Amino acid sequence: MPLSEGADPLNILCTEAERALWSSQNLPTDRVSVENGAIVCNCARWPLMIDPQLQGVTWIKKREEKHGLKVARLGQKGLLASLEAALVAGLPFVIENLHESYDAVLAPVVGRQVLRRGRQSIVKLGDKEVDYSPTFKLYLQTKLSNPHYPPEIQAETTLINFAVTEDGLEDQLLALSVAKERPDLEEEKAELILQQNDNKIKIQELETGILSQLANAEGDVLENLALIENLEDSKRVSNPAPNPTPSPSPYPYPYPHPCPCPCP
């Protein structure tokens, strides 16, 4: 297939604003971790994360907590009841500490064996049929560093290796060393990264709003005040004004000052 020079699939799967958001949700910023995050967000099958250092599941918990995330472990009492509630309500669900196999009762959910009954979607869970919400998400996680899954599990899931690479470990150890030796620098770095990520997300939101308003604009675009305000906000965020340098004072002390002379 013809390929443009310098093409990067990562830029197709996700934007800088999305990567900035993942970073603020505790996903490491090394290349492999960002690629894993892009796969998790775009895969057609439920992701099965090989995650011995718990970096992937930590990110998922932070990412999905505002959506009512439910977490359970394989073999835990009440697993099926919690899974059924998540299926009906359309909530994200994480199954932790998966081994090299799982119960057959979970196979219809993992394999997305959804049936249609009229306008209703259902899935078999054990010996009963449960309503299936289209907003339901399932995440599988294992602590095993080198698991060997049978072909049927590999065919039904998307295997993603979140194990720390050498480059990623080097970056994280450097951050820990700086935090130990110079906590002030590490704190300043964290604040700058957070500010940069917020700016990227804000710019993306402004660009999306501008494109939406341009597509739905009626009449003269120059008379659309909301669009003009969005353009000004986008320009201000993307090109922040530099901090003015204060001019040196001619006095050795701040003005106003006690002065014995009758000057005003």
- Mean pLDDT estimate for the chain: 81
Calculate the alpha carbon distances from 201 to 18, 20, 47, 150, 195 in Å.
Answer: 7, 7, 25, 40, 10
pLDDT tens digit sequence for 37-59 = 999 999 999 999 999 989 999 99
Residue 237: the pLDDT is: 65
Widest pairwise Cα distance in the chain: 97
**pLDDT for 250:** 45
Query: Residue 261 has what pLDDT?
Result: 52
Our CA angle for 216, 217, 222, nearest 5°, is: 155
H helices of 4-136, in order, are: 9-13, 16-24, 31-42, 55-64, 79-89, 107-110
Collapse the DSSP code of 262 into the 3-class scheme (helix H, G, I; strand E, B; otherwise coil) and give the result: coil
Task: Please check the confidence at residue 249 and state whether its pLDDT lies above 60.
Answer: no
Whole-number Å distance between alpha carbons of 68 and 93: 9
Q: Quick one: angle between helices 31-42 and 55-64, nearest 10?
A: 50
User: Distance between CA atoms of 207 and 191, rounded to whole angstroms?
Assistant: 24
Residue 60's pLDDT is: 95
% the chain with pLDDT above 70:
86
- CATH class for domain 10-168? alpha beta
The tens digit of pLDDT for each residue in 205-229 reads: 777 777 777 777 776 666 677 777 7
Instruction: Name the more confident of 89 and 177.
Output: 89
**What are the structural domain ranges in the chain?**
10-168, 183-238
Question: By mean pLDDT, which of 30-34, 64-68, 240-244 is the weakest?
Answer: 240-244
Task: Write down the pTM of the prediction.
Answer: 0.71
Residue 230 burial (C-beta neighbours within 10 Å; 0-12, 13-18, 19+): buried
- Measured distance between the N- and C-terminal CA atoms of the chain, rounded to whole angstroms: 80
Query: What are the Cα distances from residue 58, in Å, to 22, 223, 241?
Result: 11, 47, 37
User: Does the pLDDT value for residue 253 go beyond 50?
Assistant: no
pLDDT of residue 219: 67
The 8-class DSSP code of residue 258 comes to -
- Give residue 247's pLDDT: 45
Three-state SS at 54 = coil
Q: Kindly state the tokens that stand for 40.
A: 């998790």
**CA–CA gap between residue 38 and residue 33 (Å, rounded):** 9
